[in-house]
Structure 1
Amino acid sequence: MSARTLFALLVLLLLVLFAWLNWGEINKPTSLSLGLTRVEAPLGLVLVVALGALTLLYLVFTIGLETAALLEVRRYARELLYYKKLAEDAEQSRYTELKRYLEAEFQRLAEAERQEIQALAARVEETLEKHGNTLAAYIGELEDQLLRLLGPSQNGKG
């Protein structure tokens, strides 16, 4: 219990104790004016009943406020859970989108790498063919020179 509630209960208990100790005086009949007419009634009892009615009204009002606050807190909790789920779904959606983007990017990079490898292989093949042709030409030239150098001596012996 809060300090305010304990204080209110203590004051109420003291008033009940006061009324119990002075019950004889509270029940003494007195002439009371109600505006247009006068009645004989115990003033203390009228005041105690009025205090009890006000206390009861206060309790009903307080319970109503507490109930309204609890319902509002419950509504806020539901909204909070809804927005939390919405945020988690959005985050999951972003992860899925990022995953798709990365997969597409990796696929694009793999395709670019494959094309680069093909281009490099074609250049290597072209270079090998060019150097092979050059080498064949050099070998042919060397053979011609060897045949020229060795040719007259072999032609005379043969």
Structure 2
Amino acid sequence: MIRVVVLLLLLLAALLAGFVILNWAAFLTVFPLSLGVTEVDGPLGLIMLLLAALLAGPSLVYAIYVRQSSLLRAGRTAEEMQELRKLAERAETSRYTALREFMAAETQKLSEQNHQLRAELRADLEKLAARLEAPAGAPAPADEEEVLDLDLNERESN
């Protein structure tokens, strides 16, 4: 879009230059000019052309200044966005790392609890097996109450 505008301005400047060259004699024709207080003779076309150039020059410089400042601002904004994107990626990575560490710790804790419960269950089953293998008239082991209880209340709380 901007290139089209620049091309149109260049085309307009070329047409104006061609018009001035073709009518140079008319631009140099001397006319009486009134300055309010006095009258002078001068080339009206050339004076008007110079006034137009004096007005167009600063306008062109201002347009270039505005364009360059907006490009610089856009560049700074792009750099800031890139830095923010990197910061967000680092934060996301750290959250994933923290989540992974939490999950590993919880998995380890559950694995330890599982091994502990299996050991307790295995011990209880061995006690029951020993009791069942004992002859019917034999005295019960000293820890019979523990074997029969099986710590059900403690396991339900876990």
What range is the shorter-chain TM-score in? 0.7 to 0.9
Secondary structure, aligned partner of 2:134:
helix
1:71 counterpart residue number: 72
Q: Which is worse superposed, 32-41 or 12-21?
A: 32-41
Matched letter for residue 54 of structure 1: L
**Distance in 1 between residues matched to 2:25 and 2:97, nearest whole Å:** 82
Deviation at 1:36, TM superposition (A): 3.1
For structure 1, the 5+ residue unaligned runs are: 138-158
Deviation at 1:101, TM superposition (A): 0.7
Give CA-to-partner distance per residue, 1:19-75, whole Å, 9 cap, x none: 111111111222222233332221101111112222322321221121011111101
Give the 4+ runs in structure 1 shifted more than 3 A: 134-137
Deviation at 1:91, TM superposition (A): 0.7
Deviation at 1:135, TM superposition (A): 6.0
For structure 2, the 5+ residue unaligned runs are: 139-158
Matched letter for residue 105 of structure 1: E
2:5 counterpart residue number: 4
Give CA-to-partner distance per residue, 1:100-136, whole Å, 9 cap, x none: 1111111111111111111111111211221122368
**Distance in 2 between residues matched to 1:95 and 1:107, nearest whole Å:** 18
Q: Is 1:130 aligned to residue 135 of structure 2?
A: no
1:149 counterpart residue number: none
Deviation at 1:2, TM superposition (A): 2.1
**Distance in 1 between residues matched to 2:3 and 2:114, nearest whole Å:** 73
Q: Is 1:116 aligned to residue 136 of structure 2?
A: no
Matched letter for residue 2 of structure 1: R
**Distance in 1 between residues matched to 2:29 and 2:110, nearest whole Å:** 102
**Distance in 2 between residues matched to 1:13 and 1:118, nearest whole Å:** 96
1:2-151 alignment to 2 at 5 Å?
2-134=3-135, 137=138
**Distance in 2 between residues matched to 1:32 and 1:134, nearest whole Å:** 141
**Distance in 1 between residues matched to 2:116 and 2:20, nearest whole Å:** 101
Secondary structure, aligned partner of 1:2:
helix
Q: TM-score, normalised by structure 2?
A: 0.78
Q: More helix by proportion, 1 or 2?
A: 1
How high is the sequence identity, in percent, across the aligned residues?
36
- Return the index of the structure with the highest Cα Rg: 1
The alignment covers a number of residue pairs equal to 137
